[in-house]
Amino acid sequence: MSAITAPAVRGMGGSGWTQFRGRLNSARLHLFVPLTLYLLFTIVPFYWMVVFAFRPTTSNHPYPWPITLANFKEVWNVLGFGTFFENSMLVGVGVLIGLNVICAMAGYALARFKFAGRSALILILLCTQFVPGVMLLIPLFVIFRHLGLIDNLFALIIADIVFQLPLTSLLMSGFIRNVPVELEEAAMVDGCSRVRAFLSVTLPLLRPAFVAIGSFAFIGSWNNFLFALMFMSSQNHFTLPVGLDYTIGEFSVNFGALAAGGLIAAVPVVVIFAFVQKYLVQGLTFGAVKG
């Protein structure tokens, strides 16, 4: 950092000390010292997991060398993380598609129509934010048992969609309101039906909304632990968080396998997050951050 401004400071031709102080100021220590400390706090735990995942179980160097993939082979094939990964993917993609379709429909109705009960509905949707998933664990279990969906991945897809639906619908209606209704009207004047106008004019403009909402839906369902623990009973229906919990319980000594499993669970969400985190800061905040 200081390299950019250093010539200017030197140009002022001060003594060694002022030059040093000038450099310190230009490096803005009050920003970078806390930021570096915090970065260490964030990154060291990730690094530690990578070290464990890639080094042989016999080694205890604080760096992953000699490098080995044995841990990954073990968790993927022996401990069943291949299946867990597949289940998590299925649920995540199911939630992503289902949620986007339902919340696009609901968002469109909320944004473009006046109807009786509209404000009551919005109020109810907001109130659901105070109803936590853990507290509904028991009644939801009973419902899914009546529906015969216990130990079925559909139960997870439904539960994940339901708990993310209220705020994503409100967010989607906000996005749709920002697309001028005149565009649709123009298309309808040109002979489109209402549905066609929505599909070919409004829908393409909503791509960022779908990407953002879909990503957060995916991350949310990928991370959901309690529902999966409660509703899935056989090991070939476990998702990654349940698999990790299982590994913690059963193989607490084998840290290499645990770390490799953790890395498998972490990479997809961290990569997706890195791409969409700017949407978060642009004001999508509340619907997305709620856990």
Partner 1 sequence: MGVTQTMLEAEQRVSLRAGAREPARRRRKRKGWVPYVMLSPLVVLIAAFVAYPVGSVVYYSFQNYNIVEPFLNGFAGWSNYSTMLRHDPLFWSSLLFTGKWVVTEVVLQLILGMILALIMNEAFRWRGFTRAAVFAPWAVSGVLTTTIWLLLYDPQAGIVNYLSNIGLAPRGFAILADTHTVFWGAVLAELWRGVPFFAIIILADLQSIPRELIEAANCDGANAWTRFRWVILPHLRDAVILSTLLRCVWEFNNVDLLFTLTNGGPGTETTTLPLYVARQAIDNHNFGYGAALTMAGFAILFVFSMIYLKLSKFGASTGYRT
* Sequence-separated contacts (24+) of 149-155 with Cβ below 8 Å: 149/231, 150/231, 150/233, 151/231, 151/232, 151/233, 151/234, 151/237, 152/231, 152/237, 153/87, 153/90, 153/91, 153/94, 153/232, 153/237, 155/227, 155/231
Identity of the residue, 14 or 29, whose beta carbon is nearer to partner 1 in the bound complex: 29
| Structural tokens at position 104 | 């696009």
Tell me: does residue 24 bind partner 1 (CB under 8 A): no
CA triple 193-195-198, angle to 5 deg: 110
Residue 105 CB, nearest approach to partner 1 (Å): 4
Q: Pick the binder of partner 1 from 29, 78, 124, 199 (CB under 8 A).
A: 124
Residue 130 CB, nearest approach to partner 1 (Å): 6
Tell me: does residue 140 bind partner 1 (CB under 8 A): yes
| Structural tokens at position 25 | 């100021």
Identity of the residue, 14 or 145, whose beta carbon is nearer to partner 1 in the bound complex: 145
| Structural tokens at position 81 | 């993380």
Q: Distances in Å between the alpha carbon of 83 and those of 88, 154, 276?
A: 9, 16, 27
Q: Pick the binder of partner 1 from 89, 93, 121, 192 (CB under 8 A).
A: 121
Binders in 101-120 for partner 1, by CB under 8 A? 102-103, 105-106, 108-115
**Closest listed residue to residue 201, CA positions, set 182, 223, 229:** 182
Q: Return the range that interacts with partner 1 (CB under 8 A); candidates 10-18, 70-78, 89-97, 238-246.
A: 238-246
Residue 185 CB, nearest approach to partner 1 (Å): 9
Tell me: does residue 87 bind partner 1 (CB under 8 A): no
Binders in 178-237 for partner 1, by CB under 8 A? 178-182, 219, 222-226, 229-230
Please count the residues of the chain.
Answer: 291
Binders in 160-179 for partner 1, by CB under 8 A? 161-162, 165-166, 169-171, 174-175, 177-179
Element (H, E) at 263: helix 255-279
Q: Pick the binder of partner 1 from 24, 35, 78, 186 (CB under 8 A).
A: 35
